[in-house]
Structure 1
């Protein structure tokens, strides 16, 4: 197969240094750090340096894809981006943006179809206005989604807490049921182990039969107790 005929991968290959992350090398690095807690990274071989993550940021400014960014920078808004807001400015919209998102999505589709029609008629011109409108609509949709995220996070946390409470209630109910069953089994053990006062002659004559019956009751009680505990653990 020629070089140009080879099929292209859907995703780029991982960075080449991923092959250094092996169990043997991680164990070797752990041993070196155990021997010297103040290990100098520059003294390590190159393949071991990849295994050490970079230190955390000391400042709030960092570079990402060639652009300087700051963690202290305020979140961008449509006004700061000089984009026209296409939905009403009301606090209730942040809690229920679905209707406006659907409306903007339909408008986006309409503008996109208009753009396709304009390009089919005049590919060199007639696309700037529609492209600008698509950008504005997309930025407005992102603004609505970002404004909904705090409410979404709170509702997700509430749902998780409610599920945990229901799970704990179910576990407590199962413990109560198991406790009742264990108390019944213990009661059977006590009643089965109690022996009546018999004359000395009768005890001597029926000693073997009484012992056999007692052991049979105890085995049955212990079998029931094991069944209850096994069912509770399952």
Structure 2
């Protein structure tokens, strides 16, 4: 049951009531107002891009102002009744008024200097495991309370809620490391693909050089003239025809190598 004065948040909230103003008639009215506002000295409308800031400066009826995109939020926004912040800094549990069940991460000293006493980095996995075990124990205690005194369940539910919030906050603290590791993995995969492509190109280059050397060894010289078998010895094949034949043979070999 929702608390007094607090709106009920649902996973699939109903659309805001302003949806009824998005009609073809209102859209056409807005286009007419933009054409009227973009008229020049000759009285003809000019083609103009209307950013939201200029649209908000126009004199529009109240029902048409809902068609203008709102300003981009700078600090926070609301989603399904929940206020979300645009800041990438993760607020601490202490700032949210929640009891923290694990030690805080080591903080640097004043002016960015390292702490005077060396401290161990926070072991996320260790404390996540401890919280998971505490959740199992608290759930068993919760079941026992329900079987003995069901009206005394609220403190235990609050303990379980606090454990879940601490576990979720620990996971969020681990997100930057997860993002770095994911980026490293993507770059390593891209590097491996590039190296494989380079190796395949080097291999194809070696095969093509071998084919060219073989053609040169067999006397496939472009400027050579070869006597035709079906004609007199005094009549030679034209150099242009020999070039075309050699080029056709070379392309056939290249196609075979590429297809293979």
- TM-score normalized with structure 1 length: 0.63
Matched with 2:220 is 192
Look up the match of 1:102: 129
Task: Output aligned runs, 1:130-141, within 5 Å.
Answer: 130-141=156-167
Cα distance in 2, alignment partners of residues 157 and 218 from structure 1: 47
**Which structure 1 segments of 5+ residues have no match?**
1-10
**Quick check: 1:178 aligned with 2:204?**
yes
User: Is the Cα–Cα contact under 8 Å of residues 188 and 221 in structure 1 kept in the other structure?
Assistant: no
Q: How does 1:70-109 map to 2 (within 5 A)?
A: 70-71=85-86, 75-89=90-104, 91=106, 94=122, 96-109=123-136
Report if aligned partners of 1:192, 1:214 keep a CA contact under 8 Å in 2. no
Q: Which has the higher contact order (CA 8 A, sep 6+)?
A: 1
What CA deviation, in whole Å up to 9, does each residue of 1:114-155 have, x standing for no partner? 1122112222x2212211211221122122111111111111
Which residue is 1:202 aligned to? Answer: 233
Cα distance, 1:35–1:228 mapped onto 2, change above 3 Å: farther
Q: Tell me, what secondary structure is at the counterpart of 2:77?
A: strand
Contact 2:13 2:80 in 1 (8 A): no
| Alignment coverage as a number of residue pairs | 209
2:129 aligned with 1:129: no
Q: Identify the residue that residue 114 of structure 1 maps to in structure 2.
A: 141
User: Deviation per CA, 1:146-176, whole angstroms, max 9, x where unpaired?
Assistant: 1111111111111111111111111111121
- Taking structure 2 as the reference length, what is the TM-score of the superposition? 0.58
CA contact (8 A) 2:76 2:85 kept: yes
Which sections of structure 2, spanning at least 5 residues, go unmatched? 1-10, 36-45, 107-119
CA-based RMSD:
4.7
SS in 2 for 1:78: coil
Report the CA distance between 1:192 and its aligned residue.
Answer: 2.1
Describe how 1:148-159 pairs up with structure 2 within 5 A: 148-159=174-185
